[in-house]
Amino acid sequence: MALELVGKLIKVLPEVSGQSQKGPWSKQEFVLETLDASYPKKVCLTAWGDKVADLKQFATGDTLKATFSAESREYNDRWYTELRAFRIELTEGEGGSAPAPRSAPAQQARPAQQSQPAAMSFNSAFEEESNDLPF
């Protein structure tokens, strides 16, 4: 199952490496912030093996597209989920990559609204309608 996430790189955590029976391994976690204007979310993904070197070419603030798989495992009756990034690409037209996907429509500047009525204070509105009860 391949999933994609487009977001701004906000943090790269320290690289972790070790030795297993199969040989040396390394992983590095990084955090992307989604491009949702209303409610941006922060998502932590993990790069393993040679993808750690790929991650070093990006700077904080770059807009990236990460293709990842979600994996969960159980340990002592607790479930742990990891988002393993297997493809990380820059989406801002650099290096001849595909154009950046649009996650939200472009916002256009609205003209100043000069035809609004003068603001009414809350207390004056309450005093005028104090005898109008709905029941």
The more confidently predicted of residues 104 and 78 is 78
Question: Would 115 be classed as within a structural domain?
Answer: no
Question: Would 49 be classed as within a structural domain?
Answer: yes
Mean pLDDT computed over 89-100: 57
Mean pLDDT computed over 7-20: 92
**Taking the mean position of all CA atoms in its chain, how far away is CA 42?**
5
Burial of 101 (0-12, 13-18, 19+ CB in 10 A): exposed
| 88 contact partners, CB below 8 Å, separation of at least 6 | 47, 51, 54, 55, 58, 64, 65, 66, 67
Instruction: State which residues form the domain around 44.
Output: 3-97
**Dihedral angle of Cα 122, 127, 128, 130, to the nearest 10 degrees:** 110
Mean pLDDT computed over 70-81: 94
Place of tokens 């998502």: 43
Q: Provide the pLDDT for residue 100.
A: 44
Domain count, the chain: 1
Q: Per DSSP, what are the bridge partners of residue 45?
A: 30
Residues 97-134: tens digit of each pLDDT? 444 444 444 444 454 555 555 555 555 555 555 666 66
Q: Per DSSP, what are the bridge partners of residue 42?
A: 33
CATH number at residue 47: 2.40.50.140
Question: Would 114 be classed as within a structural domain?
Answer: no
Question: Would 109 be classed as within a structural domain?
Answer: no
- pLDDT for 40 beyond 60: yes
Question: Would 60 be classed as within a structural domain?
Answer: yes
Residues 41-60: tens digit of each pLDDT? 999 999 998 889 888 899 99
| Averaged confidence pLDDT in the chain | 78
Cβ atoms of 99 and 63 within 8 Å: the answer is no
Q: Provide the pLDDT for residue 96.
A: 39
Question: Would 51 be classed as within a structural domain?
Answer: yes
Q: How confident is the model at residue 36 (pLDDT cuts 50, 70, 90)?
A: confident
Question: Would 120 be classed as within a structural domain?
Answer: no
Question: Would 134 be classed as within a structural domain?
Answer: no
Mean pLDDT computed over 19-31: 91
Cβ atoms of 101 and 73 within 8 Å: the answer is no
